[in-house]
Every structure is written in structure tokens, then in C-alpha cells.
Structure 1
Amino acid sequence: MTSGHQIAHGLASPRPLRVAPVTKAAFEPFGWLVETGEAGRDANNGTARRHDIHAHAAADVRPGSRFVTSIFEAREQPPTTAIAMLERHVNSVQLIMPLSGAGHMVSVSQSNADGTPDLSTLTAFSFSAAQGMIYRRGLWHHPIMATGADARFLVQSWQDGSAADCEILAIATRTLAPGA
């Protein structure tokens, strides 16, 4: 982990970060939207519907790492919560899928050439309780923010137990503003 005491890009922004409903196209630069729907195919002798979301390439797996599956229990956050940090998993994609709750918010940012967050790309999305995501490898994002109710999430990533599994960086405080 990097120091959580570093600040990327100075003082708090006076402009709130608008939270927009997520769409597949809007989220594509940051990763893959995970949801069911009309896509998919029959499975299990016709008793289920299979939805393949993302096939992990060999490049998604760091040598010496193991596939870790966790359950996170997140407390409800107010929709106008301020964010003051981002994290990234430079060596792994990361799946986050709600198991319960009323919805969640996601704040994401691309990287600059030096690996720091490009805060000009900082974007916030609202997700329903039936939508999750897979973050691209190395994507800067804020931790899980449950909205409307406490929630549980299935989280999966490749980890080796070292500090390289998760980098954390303080950023200039941004208040979230629901609605696009």
C-alpha cells in the first residue's frame, strides 16, 4: 500500500461530483457492468440461464497470487457522502456484486501516465441492487458505498498477500451529488 497521507491534486473541489445512473456504455472505460437480463443462454438442462460476464485473460493473473473470494458487509452511506480517497488493485481485476441491499454508488478514475489518478476523469455512478461491476486492472476507485440500506457484496480478486494487492491514495475531497 502507498501512504494514505499523500494528496493528489491539492484542495477540495467546490463543485460536487454528479452521480449518474450506470449504463454499460458509460462504464466501459472503467470495466464491465455485471447484470442479468435478456442476454445469456440456457444452462443446466434448461433450468437456468447462464450469463458470462468477463473471461479473465492470463494477463489478469499475477504469478504467485491466489483467487480470493470475500463477502463485504457495507453500512449504508448518505447519498451526499464526500469522498477523500481512492484505491486501486494494480495487479488484478476486481469483481463486486451485491448480494443484498438497495443499491450502491461507485466513483472511478482513470490513471495519469505516472500512475496517479487522473481526477479530470473522476466519474460517479449509481447502481441498482441487481447491478455489479468488474473493475479493470489498476483502475482507481472509491471503496463500496451502499445506499438506501446496509448491503452485502461478493468481492473477488487475485491477491498474493503483499502491499501490492491494494494501493490507497488520499485525494482532494469531493462531495457526491445524486442525480445527473
Structure 2
Amino acid sequence: MKTIQLTPLNQENFKSFGEFITLENANQFKINGGSTDRFHALSSVDTEANGGRTIVSMFRGQAFHLPFELKVMERHPLGSQTFIPLNPNAGQRYLIVVAPAECKNEVEVVDHLTAFIAQGFEGVTYAKGVWHHPLISLDEVNDFIVIDRLGPGNNCDEIPITSRLVINNP
């Protein structure tokens, strides 16, 4: 059994997998007569390949707990994918497991896995082609806004994880 250690989630540690979405240090300004704070352009979504278009969906992630055993990784070769929690609170967490887009098979994916825990209002945009585990809400059910691609072509590749890989509590 291989154990994957958790890496702190921040702009620097996540940049090779996509964009880390946080309000900290965001371009912020007042709109609507000063009654609303706009946190501007937190992430961009890449969905136009092969006639794709950007869509907004809601996902409801069922609760999982650590330790968590990985079973599959997926990627979207034609577009990026953004996850933003809808009901964040101080203790709400979800697990992010990623591997570089350049990985070509299970062995390469497993050898290059990185795991993060997002908390509260932290979101991520997986870059086009980045391997990631499907949504893993921790401790309780969590709802997400998901922004991704709709259009022609195969935009979901999966690799089953046949070796035993576990992510433990930090």
C-alpha cells in the first residue's frame, strides 16, 4: 500500500495543475452603488476547443472520510473544469488529488500524484488535461458550482487505480 501525503493548498503549490481560487489578495472593488464586493476574474475557464461552450452545473458531493482510498483518476482533454463550494463554512473540506496532464498511463499518474485539502470558500480550476480524482467531499455532503465544457468530442478519459493508494489524515 502506498500513502499519499497532503500538500498545502496555495497558488504556488497548485499552479502546475490549474488555478487556486481564493478571495485572499483578489482584485476586489465595489459595485452596485457600493453594496456589493466584486472579487474579479478569480479564474478563467478554457472550453472552446472543438466547438465546445462553457456551462454552469451544480454537483452534490456525498461525504467521505479520511483515510480515503483512490480508485480512479480522470481528465478532460478538451476543457478546464472549475469547482467552487456553495455552502462553505470554516470546517467544510474537500479533497483534491491531481497528476500532471503529461502522464500517459496508470504508473505515471500514480508516480506523480499530489493531494490537497481545500477548506471553506477555496476553489480550483483544473487545467485542460490535468488528471484529477472525481469530487471527494470530506466529512459531510457539500454542494459545488461546476463550470466546464459542453460540446462534441470525448472530453473525459479515466484510468482505474489498481494499486492500493490511501490518503491519510494530515
What TM-score, normalized to structure 2?
0.86
Partners of 2:104 and 2:5 lie apart in 1 by 26
Partners of 1:39 and 1:112 lie apart in 2 by 30
> What is the count of residue pairs matched by the alignment?
163
SS at match of 1:41: strand
User: For residues 27-73 of structure 1, what are the alpha-carbon distances to aligned partners after superposition, in whole Å with 9 as ceiling and x for unaligned?
Assistant: 1111111111343221313322222112346xx51132222211111
Question: What residue in structure 1 maps to residue 144 of structure 2?
Answer: 153
Partners of 1:113 and 1:124 lie apart in 2 by 16
5+ residue gaps, structure 2, are: none
What TM-score, normalized to structure 1?
0.81
Partners of 1:121 and 1:54 lie apart in 2 by 24
Are 1:170 and 2:160 matched, yes or no?
Answer: yes
**Amino acid in structure 1 at the alignment position of 2:3:** P
Partners of 1:17 and 1:174 lie apart in 2 by 7
Aligned ranges for residues 123-162 of structure 1 at < 5 Å?
Answer: 123-160=114-151, 162=153
Structure 1 stretch displaced more, 77-86 or 43-52: 43-52
Instruction: Give 1:178 deviation, angstroms.
Output: 2.1
Partners of 1:56 and 1:152 lie apart in 2 by 20
Question: What residue in structure 1 maps to residue 27 of structure 2?
Answer: 40
Partners of 2:102 and 2:27 lie apart in 1 by 36
**Root mean square deviation, CA, Å:** 2.0
Question: What residue in structure 2 maps to residue 105 of structure 1?
Answer: 95
Question: Retained in 2: the 8 A contact 1:100–1:151?
Answer: yes
Question: Retained in 2: the 8 A contact 1:64–1:160?
Answer: yes
Question: Retained in 2: the 8 A contact 1:40–1:49?
Answer: no
Partners of 2:10 and 2:97 lie apart in 1 by 14
Question: Retained in 1: the 8 A contact 2:70–2:165?
Answer: yes
Partners of 1:97 and 1:56 lie apart in 2 by 13
Partners of 1:115 and 1:49 lie apart in 2 by 44
User: For residues 98-119 of structure 1, what are the alpha-carbon distances to aligned partners after superposition, in whole Å with 9 as ceiling and x for unaligned?
Assistant: 1125110000001346476533
Question: What residue in structure 2 maps to residue 84 of structure 1?
Answer: 71
Moved over 6 A (4+): none
5+ residue gaps, structure 1, are: 1-13
